[in-house]
């Protein structure tokens, strides 16, 4: 049992970071942690709040490890806040009546949204933009108002534009009201603000700057779409369905005030550089902490304060040394970045500006009076240079300052010019030197750098820099498929598509060397299968296959095979079940329900496979493709046809999708999930393609997977009708098949894709590369040319000849294959091994 207790009040991103940090570093378990979290959701990514819109899946924003499962040293209490702190008795009184004795308290209460005292601000149609529950409430009113209704956002700062983006995603027409003369007044200057206003206006926002909101009145005789009249200080008005206040935040320091702890002039609990309050046993971290009088409203400095207090509680002396207040975000598709001394507040600072209203870009760098040191900058419309410029703040400029942002393409200045101390990942305070050391120690790709340094694991804004450091590190990763082909898999795919070569021998003769190996042969076989409807056992191609594909079945550990008939969407008829049962009984097969809603039959000998499949095919079943790098399953719930919560026919959609993509060969196996509502019974967000029904259409998620490294799929598009959903999946799958590496699953493929999800969305949804017609045509060719592989084998006497244990004795069975059924379950027995013991 731990000897000391720390009570953490608040379970947001920073509170969670503190708990994680303390548990990782408290190797002697000297601290027991009690966490009081007012929200009913454990810590989630509040920075990515807008991504909740459309998905409406709270688990998608959950921070890793936020439930501390299995950790007896952490007591997480959700839906419970702190009512008071008795500093004399060292007790925290919780809102549920519990009293918790403490040795230390960490205030991680964050901030609350500021709502200006405007007449009518407390009406039923007025909201704030802070929590998942806030978005749920906004959604309810937005749905009632209907698509196209006006939503007013009071506040045109960073959070205000995030809120406007959320309203747009909900189908509303956003109006943004900002008292300052420009949008994002704390991050961009007049020039950048003017361009930003023009860009977001072109995207459907109406911007009102230099005006205040004076009143909000109910219009009882108006429809839901115009239920409010919002009056502005210039006497104009906006008729709207709802109002969202996003006019800044204030520290939640009320509990500190109640117990007499000093607070800063503008709010926030006063703490020293060690994040300790006037009471030496009470600390404050994150947005509520006023460090020597100043509050920091970004997650990166919040994480720094959490690490400081972890060190302090463990006897260290770490202090808060300042914070990087740089920001980079994409608002309604528009890149905006601000870093360092963006407003040229430094005495004598010079500004170099390039503005191109036609191209929709604005770039400014702020430099020292001698033009030798970079102090800060602003980027609007194109923020690609942010990854290189932000780490350079405070460093010498290697050349003319204008070359840093010159649209004419001045001399390139790379990350190599930065000192090792330059911070690349501000969220986790990871320097260039730390990343380069990890690369030198063998971290040769982005996932490895993430794992070793934590860089890129929070907002992801530094990932382009990490990729550049990898490229500039001197570590050369060969793109060669193997020693026989200098080309990558994607390059070979393009060669096969362009040349029409249909044999491995023809491809290696023209573009490779030698005779091939167990890497290139199955890879080329997969490419050939992806680019035609030829049977994989036709001609020369048969010799290229892996063992499983060679016999169209999964090889098991004792040399027997498993048989898996396809059950699209999990559907199966009673007659088919009877046939499966009879086949399993006649051939003495072990049966098991798989995680993909199918029945797996184990223990078939190779010579038995044709007869087993003959009976299954006659019953109307076909190959489940469980042996191939191809579509495996489309898992579904019962959807609206049976479930009282379902809002779409998930079974029907799952069946359609499985029948469309069955037999599609790809770099790795692919799994789908289709859920009929947000309850997500089909676990769609753990699949390569996840489809979730909403009342406004289908939401499409991509690049998730289970397995050794589970990854949540990401929302690609929302509110889709059936035809659009299928078109987007066609494009996504064919783009993946064309560009992925050998045996690369969709999740690491997306992570390695330059531009990530944004680029994928541009390709698949916006057709930025102009290839969508080609991708759809390729998929149509697959669909029209599909034929069940086992049906084709059964009608071909030459193909049937391969299904024997011994070529020179085709009638003999393999005597080494044996089973044990003594436990009541048929299990394989390996040659020379004792019988497998029963499970306890």
**How far is Cα 600 from Cα 754, in angstroms, rounded to an integer?**
39
Q: Is there a binding annotation on residue 520?
A: no
Closest CA to 688 of 746, 756, 728, 736: 746
User: Using an 8 Å Cβ cutoff, are 698 and 640 in contact?
Assistant: no
Strands (E), 123-202: 126-128, 150-154, 173-178
Beta bridge partners of 216: 230
What lies within 8 Å, CB to CB, of 475 at 6+ separation is: 439, 444
Q: Determine phi and psi for 536, rounding to 5 degrees.
A: -70, -15
Quickly list DSSP for 733-779: HHHHHHHPPTT--HHHHHHHSTTHHHHHHHHHTS-TTS-HHHHHHHH
Q: Is there a binding annotation on residue 772?
A: no
Q: Is there a binding annotation on residue 681?
A: yes
**How far is Cα 536 from Cα 625, in angstroms, rounded to an integer?**
12
b/e burial code for range 548-586 (CB count within 10 A of at least 16 → b) = bbbbbbbbeebbbbbbbbbbbbbebeeebeebbeebbee
Residues, the chain: 840
**How far is Cα 186 from Cα 806, in angstroms, rounded to an integer?**
77
Q: Is there a binding annotation on residue 677?
A: yes
User: Using an 8 Å Cβ cutoff, are 672 and 625 in contact?
Assistant: no
Which tokens sit at 408? 């004419």
Closest CA to 285 of 25, 260, 274, 22: 274
Which tokens sit at 607? 């010579």
What lies within 8 Å, CB to CB, of 353 at 6+ separation is: 191, 362, 363, 364
3-state secondary structure of 76: strand
Which three-class secondary structure string do you get for 605-638? CHHHHHHHHHHHHHCCCCECCCCCCEEEEEEECC
In which residue are the tokens 């528009």 written? 334
Residues making up the binding site for siroheme: 681
Residues making up the binding site for [4Fe-4S] cluster: 637, 643, 677, 681
Residues making up the binding site: 637, 643, 677, 681
């Amino acid at each position: 049992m731990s000897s000391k207790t720390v009570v953490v009040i608040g379970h947001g991103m920073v509170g969670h970071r503190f708990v994680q940090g303390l548990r990782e570093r408290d190797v002697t378990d000297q601290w027991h942690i009690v966490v009081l979290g007012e929200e009913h959701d454990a810590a989630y990514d509040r920075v990515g709040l807008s991504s909740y819109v459309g998905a409406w899946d709270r688990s998608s924003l959950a921070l890793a490890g936020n439930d501390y499962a299995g950790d007896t040293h952490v007591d997480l209490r959700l839906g419970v806040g702190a009512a008071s702190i008795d500093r004399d008795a060292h007790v925290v009184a919780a809102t549920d009546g519990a009293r918790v004795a403490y040795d230390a308290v960490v205030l991680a209460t964050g901030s609350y949204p500021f709502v200006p005292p405007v007449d009518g601000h407390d009406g039923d149609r007025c909201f704030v933009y802070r929590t998942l529950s806030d978005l749920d409430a906004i959604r309810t009113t937005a749905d009632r108002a209907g698509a196209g209704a006006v939503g007013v956002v009071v506040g045109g700062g960073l959070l205000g534009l995030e809120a406007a983006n959320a309203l747009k995603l909900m189908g509303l027409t956003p109006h943004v009201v900002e008292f300052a003369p420009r949008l994002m007044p704390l991050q961009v200057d007049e020039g950048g603000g003017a361009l930003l206003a023009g860009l977001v206006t072109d995207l459907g926002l109406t911007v009102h700057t230099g005006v205040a909101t004076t009143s909000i009145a109910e219009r009882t005789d108006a429809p839901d779409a115009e239920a409010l009249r919002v009056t502005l200080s210039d006497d104009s008005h906006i008729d709207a369905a709802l109002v969202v206040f996003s006019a800044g935040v204030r520290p939640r320091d009320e509990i500190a005030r109640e117990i007499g702890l000093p607070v800063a002039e503008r709010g926030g609990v006063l703490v020293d550089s060690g994040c300790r309050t006037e009471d030496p046993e009470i600390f404050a971290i994150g947005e509520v902490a006023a460090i020597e009088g100043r509050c920091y409203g970004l997650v990166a400095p919040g994480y720094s304060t959490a690490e400081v207090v972890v060190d302090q509680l463990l006897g260290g002396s770490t202090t808060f040394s300042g914070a990087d207040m740089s920001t980079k975000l994409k608002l309604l598709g528009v890149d905006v970045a601000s870093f360092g001394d963006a407003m040229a507040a430094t005495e004598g600072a010079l500004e170099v500006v390039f503005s191109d209203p036609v191209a929709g870009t604005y770039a400014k760098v702020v430099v020292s009076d001698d033009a030798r040191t970079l102090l800060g900058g602003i980027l609007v419309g194109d923020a690609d240079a942010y990854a290189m410029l932000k780490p350079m703040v405070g460093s010498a400029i290697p050349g003319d300052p204008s070359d840093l942002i010159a649209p004419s393409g001045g001399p390139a200045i790379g990350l190599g010019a930065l000192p090792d101390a330059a911070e690349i990942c501000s969220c986790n305070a990871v320097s260039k030197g730390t990343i380069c050391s990890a690369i030198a120690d063998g971290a040769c790709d982005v996932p490895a750098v993430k794992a070793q340094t934590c860089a890129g694991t929070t907002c992801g804004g530094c990932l382009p820099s990490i990729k550049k450091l990898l490229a500039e590190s001197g570590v050369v990763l060969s793109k060669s498929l193997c020693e026989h082909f200098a080309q990558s898999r994607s390059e070979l795919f393009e060669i096969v598509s362009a040349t029409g070569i249909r044999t491995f021998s023809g491809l290696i003769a023209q573009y490779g060397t030698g005779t091939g190996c167990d890497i290139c042969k199955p890879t080329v076989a997969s490419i050939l299968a992806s680019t035609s409807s030829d049977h994989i056992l036709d001609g020369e191609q048969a010799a290229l296959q892996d063992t499983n594909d060679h016999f169209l079945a999964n090889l098991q550990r004792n040399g027997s095979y498993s048989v898996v008939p396809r059950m699209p969407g999990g559907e199966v008829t009673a007659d088919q079940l009877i046939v499966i049962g009879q086949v399993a009984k006649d051939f003495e097969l072990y049966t098991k329900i798989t995680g993909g809603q199918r029945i797996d039959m184990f223990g078939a000998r190779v010579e038995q496979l044709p007869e087993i499949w003959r009976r299954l095919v006659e019953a109307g079943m076909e190959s489940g493709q469980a042996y191939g790098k191809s579509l495996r399953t489309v898992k579904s719930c019962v959807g609206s046809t049976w479930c009282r919560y379902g809002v779409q026919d998930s079974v029907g959609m799952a069946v359609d999708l499985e029948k469309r993509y069955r037999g599609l060969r790809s770099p790795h196996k692919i799994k789908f999930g289709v859920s009929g509502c947000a309850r997500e019974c089909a676990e769609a967000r753990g699949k390569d393609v996840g489809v979730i029904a909403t009342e406004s259409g289908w939401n499409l998620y991509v690049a998730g997977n289970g397995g050794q490294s589970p990854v949540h799929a990401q929302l690609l598009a929302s509110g889709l009708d059936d035809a659009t959903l299928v078109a987007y999946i066609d494009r996504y799958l064919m783009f993946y098949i064309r560009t992925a590496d050998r045996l690369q699953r969709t999740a690491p493929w997306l992570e390695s894709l330059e531009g990530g999800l944004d680029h994928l969305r541009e390709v698949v949804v916006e057709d930025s590369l102009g290839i969508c017609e080609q991708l759809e045509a390729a998929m149509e060719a697959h669909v029209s040319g599909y034929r069940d592989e086992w049906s084709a084998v059964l009608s071909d006497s030459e193909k049937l000849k391969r299904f024997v244990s011994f070529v020179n004795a085709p009638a003999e069975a393999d005597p080494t294959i044996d089973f044990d059924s003594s436990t009541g379950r048929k299990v394989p027995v390996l040659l020379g091994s004792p019988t497998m013991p029963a499970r306890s």
